[in-house]
Amino acid sequence: MAHGPAKGLSRWLFTTNHKDIGSMYLWFSFAMFIIGGIFALVIRAELFEPGMQIVDPNFFNQMTTLHGLIMVFGAIMPAFVGLANWMLPMMIGAPDMALPRMNNWSFWILPFAFFMLLSTLFMPGGAPNFGWTFYAPLSTTYAPESVTFFIFAVHIMGASSIMGAINIVATILNMRAPGMTLMKMPLFVWTWLITAYLLIAVMPVLAGLVTMMLMDIHFGTSFFDAAGGGDPVLFQHIFWFFGHPEVYIMILPAFGIISAIIPTFARKPLFGYSSMVYASASIAFLSFIVWAHHMFTVGMPIAGELFFMYATMLIAVPTGVKVFNWVATMFRGAMTFETPMLFSIAFVILFTIGGLSGLMLAIAPADFQYHDTYFVVAHFHYVLVPGALFSIIAAVYYWLPKWTGRMYNEILGKTHFWVAFVGLNVTFFPMHFAGLAGMPRRIPDYHMMFADWNMISSVGAFIFGASQILFLYIVLDTIFRGKKATDRVWENSEGLEWTVASPAPYHTFSTPPEIK
Amino acid sequence: MLKRARRLWAWLLAPAVLMTSYQAMAEEVERWKFNMVEGVTPVSREIYGLHMQMFWWCVAISVVVFGIMLYSMIMHRKSRGVKAANFHESTALEIVWTAIPLAILIAMAFPATKSLINLYDASEAEIDVVITGYQWRWRYDYLDEDLSFFSNMSTPRDQIEGFEPFGPHYLLEVDEPLVIPVDTKVRFLITAADVIHSWWVPAFGVKKDAIPGFINESWAIVEEPGIYRGQCAELCGRDHAFMPIVVEALPKEEYQAWLQEKRAEQEAVRQLTEQTFEFEELYDRGRQVHTQWCAACHRPDGTGVSGIFPALIGGMAVGPVEDHLNIVVNGSRGTAMQAFGDQLSEVDIAAVVTYQRNAWGNNMGDSVQPIDVFNFKQND
């Protein structure tokens, strides 16, 4: 058993160890988060006041496009895959992932995809400038030449996601310790199992979509060109058939994380475990039949509008069940408020706010006023930033002592939380008002009536950005200088990962544990 | 920048200031626009009603959920010495909190469905206007009236680039607004010539995507005369932020008078095609056309944007006149260069080509007359 990691660079290049690969995913996603964040700050700097001051409108469009793509595909998704790599085998009592070589490969193609995507910034004509939703024909006939590199990058990201998802399904279904029945799995395992199926279902759709674009651009087809008999609306249907499940791909694992953290710090078991499982599965099912609510203004027939409106409103039910279960878990617990708990409580409150604005957006007639305004920007940032991102940060604080064997500095952790919490609300809450007042999204310049809200948002964005530098410092400080952590780390933590030593040995559960 | 920072401070101190004078408060409320406009059409008012109804439901849900959370966070903390309970299941509760939201949703679905059906009924319109989105301007065609014109943003570039103070309607002003009569059902037939745009006037509750190859419909009955402003709502390229919509709603008689005047104006422009112009006249008119139509991509000084929009110094502008005319009239397929043949009058095409061939050191010395453009189009 004295088989440890290889030395030097080859450890990272050739590793098949789920912990090494998990760490690489997490560091990679943090790097992308910083790059995507810098792009966001360019956007906020230009929008600080009316008039064009810093960038050209075309470069502004490149920033909005790359910010979205990098954050979705480079920061949030790889971070969740990294957490899955680290935690899933330890949570189900498995020695490693089911397909370790594929695991290595699915990580190592990612840096190339993003290197290629970022290199478009330096190409003649500039980077993709058509928004992260890349609607045709703006992204085909009217796109800069670098669009071809964008398409190839998306193909590689998709391949990486599909391989990662297959690996996760294979691991969960085949490698659980004896006695770990499906309904005994921690919720993080459940939500990742469901997420992996979503990924396998929709990433090929995205790949097909960008391939059709490639054909339109280079091989003379007219899938999306009306002049050649094609259909620009078809593009949107295919995109959102991928895009809506993608939204849940970015939030379901977060549900799993929050369901692990709140019971620990409330010192009380999770309320309604089985209803949480069924709610996650319902959300996943519904995610496939609501896509056209992103397209209420394209001029669908009324029957289509009504169907997608009702189906969308229905999502509020299982999502509500989840929120109520978390609140019931906290109720009559004995709570303490360490950093992971603070991030988790903020998650529940702010994600609920994002969910409620989502409910408003579901009302099709009202959506005619909300659509493509800053109200939508506020909505999806409320579900993605204090939603997906906060859950990832909470997970890092929660499991970091297990990974490194050292405790983070609690005072700094809480400082990080409060600065990030204030920063993000100052950034995104005013966007609701700017949107309702009539400010469209994706514009580099605006009328003075939106000036005050935009200035506040910009100030908040820089506060939020600064807080993430503190996060990096805290993690490095923990790794190099943190106090020794115990094996169980938290007073009331439950689950197999807390039964192994801190830091978790290079190989865990080589002999399967006993599940009672 | 400093002035804005001071305004931010003013806002932070606002509560104190607001107490002192009702007048100041009214002004602050006016400045801090934070809610959807109620608008001036039956549809926009209905939407506003739905929006507010939904908003209050959300507030009610928040108060209950966050209230219980806050209560727990205060009362059930370990530092108060409480012991955690151990309950973790209740089928009855799960059913209750599935059923209540479902009931709220059903209650909301009824008025939303009713509004949507009303909103989709564009039949029996008295006036039909075809709206076509271009990069980056709108064209309005009055069906049955033989009237059509383009609507361009009229905010000067100097304001955008900070050399001049902002006008009151910065970025929300156009050279030719869409004019419609009040108390009349106007149907908008919305399409696009290049990429997808979206025609949005908040005060009408109308937002509809303008999609090449499709004609979408929407409608409005405007009840109050006035000027209403909106913007393109779908990302459509570089100048997406710079293609505003302005609609002027006139009393019915004034609308008729406007129609007469507008038709006469267009007839006068058509007659200009037959005239011959001096070089200076063409050059000066050309500079205006260039600023308004070409400068967004090719820049006011003709230098273009490297890699996307070619410079007009040298190259095509010093080649044969026919090639120059061809690219202006027919555009260049597969690039952002549109066909301006139908967008600009013969006079304007002649003027802008003349200008571009002689400005910025091109010095070709030749000029193009409207009749040349006319003949070019005929033979094309």
Residue B239 has pLDDT above 50, yes or no: yes
CB contact under 8 A, B116 and A365: yes
* Enzyme catalytic residues of A: 67, 96, 132, 160-161, 244, 246, 248, 259, 293-294, 319, 322, 441
pLDDT in tens, A358-393: 999 999 999 999 999 999 999 999 999 999 999 999
Minimal C-alpha gap between B124 and chain A (Å): 18
State both tokens at A168.
Answer: 């996760």
Residue B11 has pLDDT above 70, yes or no: no
Q: Is B304 part of a structural domain of the chain? A: yes
Residue B319 has pLDDT above 70, yes or no: yes
Q: Is B267 part of a structural domain of the chain? A: no
- Of B281, B263, B296, B298, give the one whose Cα is nearest residue B370: B281
B230 touches chain A (CB under 8 A): yes
Minimal C-alpha gap between B54 and chain A (Å): 6
pLDDT of residue B10: 53
Residue B155 has pLDDT above 70, yes or no: yes
3-state secondary structure of A129: coil
CA dist A464 and A41 (Å) reads 10
Q: Which residue of B has its CA nearest to A59?
A: B238
Q: Spell out which residues of chain B touch residue A364, defining contact as CB-CB under 8 Å.
A: 112, 116
Q: How much is the average pLDDT of A60-65?
A: 96
For chain B, give the percent of residues with pLDDT over 70.
91
- The H or E element spanning position A308 is helix A302-330
Q: Spell out which residues of chain A touch residue B211, defining contact as CB-CB under 8 Å.
A: 226, 232-233, 298-299
B331 touches chain A (CB under 8 A): no
Q: Which residue of B has its CA nearest to A341?
A: B73
State both tokens at B299.
Answer: 């820049």
State both tokens at A220.
Answer: 């003379």
A287 touches chain B (CB under 8 A): no
B3 touches chain A (CB under 8 A): no
Kindly give the interhelix angle for B42-75 and A302-330, rounded to the nearest 10 degrees. 10
Q: What average pLDDT does the structure give for chain A?
A: 95
Query: In terms of domains, do B113 and B140 share one?
Result: no
Q: Spell out which residues of chain A touch residue B57, defining contact as CB-CB under 8 Å.
A: 359
A268 touches chain B (CB under 8 A): yes
Which residue is associated with the tokens 């807390």?
A498
CA dist A233 and A147 (Å) reads 20
Q: Where are the alpha helices (DSSP H) in A250-301?
A: 252-266, 273-286
Query: In terms of domains, do B24 and B52 share one?
Result: no
Kindly give the interhelix angle for A100-108 and A147-174, rounded to the nearest 10 degrees. 160
User: Closest to B62 (Cβ–Cβ): which among A142, A270, A356?
Assistant: A356
CA dist A508 and A487 (Å) reads 13
pLDDT of residue B28: 56
pLDDT of residue B21: 56
Residue B214 has pLDDT above 60, yes or no: yes
Beta bridge partners of A483: A407
3-state per-residue secondary structure call for B290-331: HHHHHHHHHCCCCCCECCCECCCCCHHHHCCHHHHHHHHHHC
User: Closest to A297 (Cβ–Cβ): which among B69, B198, B237?
Assistant: B198
Beta bridge partners of B217: B189
CA dist B278 and A487 (Å) reads 91
Minimal C-alpha gap between A363 and chain B (Å): 6
CB contact under 8 A, B65 and A267: no
Asked if B350 and B377 touch (Cβ cutoff 8 Å), the reply is no
CB contact under 8 A, B88 and A272: yes
| CATH number for the domain harbouring residue B102 | 1.10.287.90
Q: What is the 8-class DSSP label of residue A512? A: P
Q: Where are the domains of chain A?
A: 23-499
Q: Which residues contact B90 (CB under 8 A, 6 or more apart)?
A: A271, A272, A328
Q: How much is the average pLDDT of B153-168?
A: 90
CA dist B280 and B285 (Å) reads 8
Q: Is B99 part of a structural domain of the chain? A: yes
CB contact under 8 A, B31 and A449: yes
Asked if A35 and A121 touch (Cβ cutoff 8 Å), the reply is no
Beta bridge partners of B190: B131, B216
Minimal C-alpha gap between B271 and chain A (Å): 33
Q: Which residues contact A212 (CB under 8 A, 6 or more apart)?
A: A221, A223, A224, A235, A238
User: In Å, what is the CA distance from A305 to each residue of A243, A346, A364?
Assistant: 18, 34, 7
Q: Which domain holds residue B367?
A: 273-379
Asked if B334 and A147 touch (Cβ cutoff 8 Å), the reply is no
Phi, psi of A19 (to 5 degrees): -75, -45
Give A 125-164 residues with CB within 8 A of chain B: 125-126, 129-131, 135, 137-138, 141-142, 144
Query: In terms of domains, do B131 and B227 share one?
Result: yes
> Per-residue confidence at B334, pLDDT binned at 50, 70, 90?
low
Query: In terms of domains, do B49 and B10 share one?
Result: no
pLDDT of residue B7: 57
| CATH number for the domain harbouring residue B169 | 2.60.40.420
Minimal C-alpha gap between B339 and chain A (Å): 14
Query: In terms of domains, do B297 and B211 share one?
Result: no
Residue A240 has pLDDT above 50, yes or no: yes
Distance from the Cα of residue B222 to its chain's centroid: 18
B320 touches chain A (CB under 8 A): no
Q: What average pLDDT does the structure give for chain B?
A: 88
pLDDT of residue B30: 60
Beta bridge partners of B140: B131, B149
User: Closest to B69 (Cβ–Cβ): which among A309, A330, A443?
Assistant: A330
Q: Is B110 part of a structural domain of the chain? A: yes
Return the residue in A62, A324, A426 with the most chain B beta carbons within 10 A, the one to mutate for interface testing. Answer: A324
B264: left (phi over 0), alpha (psi -120 to 50) or beta: alpha
Give A 248-267 residues with CB within 8 A of chain B: 266-267
Residue B197 has pLDDT above 70, yes or no: yes
Q: What is the 8-class DSSP label of residue A488? A: S
Query: In terms of domains, do B229 and B185 share one?
Result: yes
CB contact under 8 A, B170 and A448: yes
pLDDT in tens, A112-170: 999 999 999 999 889 999 999 999 999 998 999 999 999 999 999 999 999 999 999 99
> Per-residue confidence at A1, pLDDT binned at 50, 70, 90?
very low
Which residue is associated with the tokens 């390229």?
B237
Residue B18 has pLDDT above 90, yes or no: no
Q: Is B81 part of a structural domain of the chain? A: no
pLDDT in tens, A489-507: 999 999 999 999 999 999 9
Return the residue in B8, B29, B33 with the most chain A beta carbons within 10 A, the one to mutate for interface testing. Answer: B33
Q: Is B287 part of a structural domain of the chain? A: yes
- The H or E element spanning position B191 is strand B185-192
Query: In terms of domains, do B136 and B250 share one?
Result: yes
Residue A413 has pLDDT above 80, yes or no: yes
CB contact under 8 A, A332 and B76: yes
ipTM attached to this prediction: 0.92
- The H or E element spanning position B116 is helix B91-119
| A152/B361: higher pLDDT | A152
Tell me the residue length of chain A.
516
CB contact under 8 A, A440 and B232: yes
CA dist B201 and B319 (Å) reads 44
Give one DSSP letter per residue of A182-229, joined into a string: GGGS-HHHHHHHHHHHHHHHHHHHHHHHHHHHHHHHHS---SS-GGGT
**What is the CATH code of the structural domain delimited by A23-499?**
1.20.210.10
Q: Which residues contact B292 (CB under 8 A, 6 or more apart)?
A: B152, B175
**How many domains does chain B contain in total?**
4
pLDDT of residue B127: 94
Positive or negative torsion for Cα B275, B348, B209, A438: negative
CB contact under 8 A, B76 and A138: no
Q: Which residue of A has its CA nearest to B232?
A: A440
State both tokens at A435.
Answer: 């949107």
CB contact under 8 A, A444 and B241: yes
Q: What is the 8-class DSSP label of residue A450? A: G
Asked if B24 and B18 touch (Cβ cutoff 8 Å), the reply is yes
Q: Is B165 part of a structural domain of the chain? A: yes
A38 touches chain B (CB under 8 A): no
CB contact under 8 A, B47 and A129: no
Q: How much is the average pLDDT of A290-298?
A: 96
A55 touches chain B (CB under 8 A): no
A119 touches chain B (CB under 8 A): no
Query: CB-hemisphere CA count at 13 Å for A52?
Result: 19
pLDDT of residue B20: 52
Query: In terms of domains, do B193 and B318 share one?
Result: no
Distance from the Cα of residue A63 to its chain's centroid: 19
Q: Sheet of B127-134: strands edge to edge?
A: B147-151, B137-142, B127-134, B185-192, B216-221
Tell me the residue length of chain B.
380
State both tokens at B167.
Answer: 């006008």
Beta bridge partners of B245: B230
A444 touches chain B (CB under 8 A): yes
Give B 7-36 residues with CB within 8 A of chain A: 7-8, 11, 31-36
Q: Is B230 part of a structural domain of the chain? A: yes
Q: How much is the average pLDDT of B3-22?
A: 54
Final residue in a domain of this structure, among B234, B262, B290: B262
A305-314, A486-495, B32-41, B236-245: segment of lowest average pLDDT:
B32-41
Query: In terms of domains, do B54 and B25 share one?
Result: no
Asked if B110 and B54 touch (Cβ cutoff 8 Å), the reply is no
| b/e burial code for range A442-480 (CB count within 10 A of at least 16 → b) | bbbbbbbbbbbbbbbbbbbbbebbebbeebeebbeebee
User: Closest to A372 (Cβ–Cβ): which among B7, B46, B234?
Assistant: B234
- The H or E element spanning position A279 is helix A273-286
A150-159, A266-275, B145-154: segment of lowest average pLDDT:
B145-154
Q: Spell out which residues of chain A touch residue B95, defining contact as CB-CB under 8 Å.
A: none
Judge if the upstream peptide bond of residue B136 is cis by omega within 30 degrees of 0: yes
Asked if A508 and A95 touch (Cβ cutoff 8 Å), the reply is yes
Beta bridge partners of A407: A483
- The H or E element spanning position A484 is strand A483-484
- Of B202, B182, B203, B183, give the one whose Cα is nearest residue B39: B203
CB contact under 8 A, A331 and B120: no
Q: How much is the average pLDDT of B54-83?
A: 94
Minimal C-alpha gap between B340 and chain A (Å): 17
Query: In terms of domains, do B298 and B187 share one?
Result: no
Query: In terms of domains, do B370 and B302 share one?
Result: yes
CA dist A206 and A243 (Å) reads 8
Q: How much is the average pLDDT of A191-213?
A: 97
Query: In terms of domains, do B289 and B320 share one?
Result: yes
Q: Spell out which residues of chain B touch residue A313, defining contact as CB-CB under 8 Å.
A: 105, 108-109
A463 touches chain B (CB under 8 A): no
CA dist B144 and B138 (Å) reads 19
Minimal C-alpha gap between B234 and chain A (Å): 7
**Count of CB atoms situated within 10 Å of the CB of A9:** 8
| CATH number for the domain harbouring residue B326 | 1.10.760.10
Task: Give whichever of A246-260, B30-44, B138-152 has the largest mean pLDDT.
Answer: A246-260
Q: Which residue of A has its CA nearest to B57?
A: A356
User: In Å, what is the CA distance from B295 to each residue of A59, B37, B304, B305?
Assistant: 17, 34, 8, 11
> CB contacts < 8 Å between A and B, how many?
303
